[in-house]
């Protein structure tokens, strides 16, 4: 048995990278994990990974705890595909305990230093899959979580929310994710559903390692100089939050993943403690609702 045995999770953008790492940890701890992503055929993308491969790895990792992976090909820019995903979860499981909104469409010219007006408007794809997609997935998840009076929605963001990083759309998208998560927390609070945002530092995903190797000189130095974590480190944090009996005290807040890990006594897979980049990259904007005093929300409360 694992700490998440019997729980059901959806992790978006889990063919590879942070999503894959989170999915593996949740399954290892016993969760049934719906793994979403666009890569279906191994080798179809220039980096390794596919939804099927991640799901199979989840099932292998969860063999001792009852955890497993279920692959679902989803382009999170397609609202109908997303709706079908959550209909499948409801039909097959009848509940949903964890949603990790990780999918984010990185434009091919992200590291190109051109100003925003010299980049194509197609870069708004980072808004479509990264902000709008978070809202759509959370909308569907809340319809399952609110009636059961439990659940955790996690948005993956980062220091780009407060520190210029790569491009206007990239930073704006990361900022919007945190505000969205915080306001969702207000409306989810009466239903005992938590909504939090995690700020990732340097995570050694397949893409990050490839970028560093090929064009590390173009990357923000305050990022590349950080101590990077494995993709499973944030998964360990999500798992801890999912079983935290006091998780509602964190709802509405933005948290540096490394600091959450230290709060929960979590290390990376090699036993190392990942340091926070707060001092060099900035501090989260939104505090948990439990720490706010005297604020009047839109309902006049």
Give 198-246 pLDDT, tens digit per residue.
999 888 776 655 555 555 555 555 455 567 889 999 999 999 999 999 9
* Cα-based angle 128, 280, 232 (whole degrees, multiple of 5): 55
Question: Which residue in 194, 103, 86 sits closest to 143, CA to CA?
Answer: 86
What is this structure's pTM? Answer: 0.92
Tens-digit pLDDT profile for residues 126-173: 999 999 999 999 999 999 999 999 999 999 999 999 999 999 999 999
Would you give the end-to-end CA distance of the chain in angstroms? 43
Q: What is the mean pLDDT of the chain?
A: 91
Q: What is the pLDDT of residue 63?
A: 96
Beta strands 32-37 and 68-73 are parallel
Give the pLDDT mean for 242-251.
98
SS3 call for 139: helix
8-291 in CATH: which number? 3.40.50.720
49 and 12 Cβ atoms separated by less than 8 Å: no
Q: How far is 268 from 26, CA to CA, in rounded Å?
A: 15
Buried b / exposed e over 187-218, threshold 16 CB at 10 Å, is ebbeeebbbbbbbbbbbbbbebeebbeeeeee
CA dihedral 153, 158, 161, 163 (to 10 degrees): 170
Percent of the chain clearing pLDDT 70 (strictly above):
89
Please compute the mean of the pLDDT values over residues 93-97 and round it to a whole number: 98
As a 3-state breakdown, the chain gives helix, strand, coil percent values, each rounded to 5, of 45, 15, 40
């Amino acid at each position: 048995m694992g700490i998440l045995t019997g729980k059901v999770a959806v992790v978006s953008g889990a063919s590879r990278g942070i999503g894959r790492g989170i999915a593996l940890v949740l399954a290892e701890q016993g969760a049934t994990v719906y793994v979403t992503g666009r890569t279906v055929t191994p080798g179809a993308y220039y980096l390794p990974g596919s939804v099927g491969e991640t799901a199979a790895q989840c099932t292998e990792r969860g063999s001792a705890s009852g955890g497993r992976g279920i692959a679902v090909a989803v382009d999170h820019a397609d609202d109908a595909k997303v709706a079908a995903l959550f209909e499948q979860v409801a039909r097959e499981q009848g509940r949903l305990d964890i949603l990790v909104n990780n999918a984010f469409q990185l434009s091919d010219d992200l590291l190109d230093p051109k100003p925003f007006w010299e980049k194509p408007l197609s870069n708004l794809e980072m808004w479509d899959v990264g902000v709008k997609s978070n809202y759509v997935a959370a909308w569907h998840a809340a319809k399952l979580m609110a009636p059961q009076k439990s659940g955790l929605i996690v948005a993956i963001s980062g220091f780009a929310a407060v520190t210029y990083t790569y491009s206007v759309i990239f930073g704006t998208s990361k900022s919007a994710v945190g505000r969205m998560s915080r306001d969702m927390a207000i409306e989810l609070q009466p239903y005992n559903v938590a909504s939090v945002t995690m700020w990732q530092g340097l995570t050694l995903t397949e893409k990050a390692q490839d970028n560093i190797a090929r064009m590390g000189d173009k990357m923000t130095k305050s990022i590349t100089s950080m101590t990077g974590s494995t993709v499973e480190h944030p998964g360990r944090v999500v798992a801890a939050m999912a079983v935290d009996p006091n998780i509602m005290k964190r709802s509405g807040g933005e948290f540096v993943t490394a600091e959450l890990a230290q709060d929960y006594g979590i290390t990376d897979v090699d036993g190392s403690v990942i340091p926070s980049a707060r001092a060099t990259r900035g501090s989260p904007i939104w505090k948990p609702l439990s720490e706010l005093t005297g604020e009047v929300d839109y309902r006049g409360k």
